[in-house]
Structure 1
């Protein structure tokens, strides 16, 4: 019984500890992509930062490293300053003719698409509504006002109605008085 009461408290403590641990490791690389140029900013804000790409030391020192004409191949990036060292696996897809869309443009495109679709639905509804009242005079259609003909005979003889001459087959099924 006591364990059931302490489980929510334990869960809450684990959530708080996890969020505190994430706040401590808030140091992140900043990656900017423009066409085929990739600019990486190290979490260390020092000018004496040295860079290393896939095991090869880069000639650039400083807080930012720029890769010109990147070919979209994965790269291991490391920046270090003194005893502090940060590593990152960069797998950036770049292209020469890419255009970046902001959130407003994407929202506008989606809204316009929904409005055009709604307009087409309304047009289809009104044009199909107009055709419901028309009747065709083809041979397959049934005319109004005529009485229905008899349905076709039932193919299974077990379901045929009892005829006057065949009552002896069903004689054993008389109603019994209780």
Structure 2
């Protein structure tokens, strides 16, 4: 191969490299600026577990299917109605592997997986959630626009009912 053919081949390879580089300039960036932007979670994302105390029948299926026997269920047998009464329910997310077996096998659907994944704390004991902490809705649901407008419209009706000449001071 002579010098002229080598020069043409080298120029063609350099041109192909430029074409690839220019094709990447029109693409959107793959990375996001995490604390300020958050990616949208898929429907099957397994985040923090949400617990509904009123639906639970204290059957302990969640404890039996958990690979690490994690949920702690305290209950008392009501002899007059022959039913279990749930006293306490807690999950330690410092140990939880987020497998979703408890949610899958729950007969009353009182457990569900949320999109919340920011559970980091400085103290490990803060990751032990009881039934009150498990029942809180995640921030993404609380910050939902449709829920906010409904809450604001009911607040507006309450403010409208209170007369302006009353002397009670309320902080919202």
TM-score > 0.5 by shorter chain = no
> Which structure is higher in RCO with an 8 Å CA cutoff and minimum separation 6?
2
State the TM-score, normalizing by the size of structure 1: 0.26
The structure with the largest alpha-carbon Rg is 1
Return the structure number with greater strand share: 1
State the TM-score, normalizing by the size of structure 2: 0.26
